[in-house]
Every structure is written in C-alpha cells, then in structure tokens.
Amino acid sequence: MAGTPMYIARSNTELNGASLRRPARRAAHRARPSVHAKVAYIVSRFPKLTETFVLYEILAIERAGIRVELYPLQRERTNLMHPEAGELVARAHFAPLISLTIVRSHLHYLRTRPRAYLGALATLLRANFGSARYFFGALAFFPKAVHFARQIERQDVNHVHAHFASHPAAVAHVIGRPDIAEAGGKNVNLLDSVLNEVYDIVGAML
C-alpha cells in the first residue's frame, strides 16, 4: 500500500457526509434536461503533454453533449501542449493555493454548513494520516478544494470526476463524493475500461 493515498484504502462509508455538496441537490439534477448536463473534472495538472488520454476523454465527453468544467489543482508550466487543449486551457478554473476569494468561499461554508466543512477537513486529514506526502498534500489543497466546491455549486454541475485516485480524488471527496476516481495513472491499457465507465455516466445524464 506504499505510495497509495490512505483514503483509497478506507471504507467508502467513512466519507459519507464528509463533503460540501448537498446530496439532495445532486439527486435533483437527474430529472433535468440533458442540455443542462455538466461534469466537473478534477485533475492534478493541466495541460500535461503526457496525459493525452485525459484530454481526449474530456473531448469525447463534450462531443456527447456534456459540458466539462475543468478544475486543475496546478497549472502545468510548459510551452508545449496539444492543439486541442488550447480552448480547455482558456476556460479552465485555475486557482492559487490561497487568495481573498478562496477565503470568502471558506467563510461561506463555515457560516452555512459548519459541520460539513469541519467534517470534510477532519476526514481528509484522518484518512491520509499514514502518509506524509498525502497528508501535507491534503492540507495544501484543502483551501482550493473548498473554493472549487463553491464554484461547482454555482455552476449547477451534475457529476464530479477525478483524475486520479490521489490528490484529485481527495479534493473531489471534499466537494462531494465523485462518480469515478480513476486510478489508472499512465497505464494506457486501462483507457478502454475507464472510458466505458465514463460513457455509462454520460448515458445516464442524456
């Protein structure tokens, strides 16, 4: 289990209720017309030249009529990117580790959902306690995760999807339990099975 984020090894029931997205709000989306369907993609870095399959997966989802809201945890500093990534970079929701706007998002949840806010933080830290890398990563990305939750709430997003089962999955669990937290990494042999899972979700949204 070395190198694996601890929350992946825990029971899913430990994370129930430890998120900022309201379950009732999420369930209500399923009855809405497909024209409103949106999925939030939480990724570690973007645009990343070596993760072509992530880019093409997002493009395939959008071709199916689903709007993808992209939330990278970090902006990849590079002069090289796939041409298809340009439009996604332009509308991606990049954010610093901390800012006045992020602080306002935290104050919003502390005021409106204090138990959910504190529960999400406690669960995140407890579940990653066995790994210094993931514990301190969870601390570093928690401010951004709360801000992303606020943005996703305002954007009326239907589903949350994490690439991969590491820091993005932790952030996605803070926002609201993700539909998929992919663990494939750079193993391109898993792409077909991953895409099948994504298409099943898209099919349910149409």
What is the model's pLDDT at position 145? 96
What is the model's pLDDT at position 79? 86
- Evaluate whether 108 touches 150 at the Cβ level (below 8 Å): yes
Residue owning tokens 């951004």: 144
What is the model's pLDDT at position 94? 97
- Evaluate whether 34 touches 206 at the Cβ level (below 8 Å): yes
List pLDDT tens digits, range 33-82.
455 689 999 999 999 998 898 999 999 999 999 999 999 999 999 889 99
Distance CA 129, CA 124 (A): 9
What is the model's pLDDT at position 32? 45
CATH topology of domain 37-205: Rossmann fold (3.40.50)
CA nearest neighbour of 22 among 187, 140, 127, 160: 160
The amino acid occupying position 43 is: V
Distance CA 32, CA 181 (A): 24
Residues lower than pLDDT 50 in the chain? 1-4, 6-17, 24-33, 185-195, 199, 202, 205-206
Sheet holding 159-163, edge to edge: 67-75, 38-46, 159-163, 180-182
How many CB atoms neighbour CB 85 within 10 A? Answer: 22
Q: Where would I find the H helices in the chain? A: 6-9, 23-28, 52-63, 86-91, 100-112, 114-127, 132-155, 167-175, 191-205
What is the model's pLDDT at position 158? 84
Backbone angles phi, psi at 162, to 5 degrees: -115, 130
Instruction: Indicate the pTM of the whole model.
Output: 0.77
Domain ranges, ordered by start, for the chain: 37-205
Backbone angles phi, psi at 3, to 5 degrees: 85, -5
What is the model's pLDDT at position 177? 63
Q: What is the DSSP letter of 85?
A: G
Q: What angle do CA 22, 17, 98 make, to 5 degrees?
A: 75
What is the model's pLDDT at position 19? 81
- Evaluate whether 88 touches 61 at the Cβ level (below 8 Å): no
Q: Which residues pair with 41 in a beta bridge?
A: 70, 161
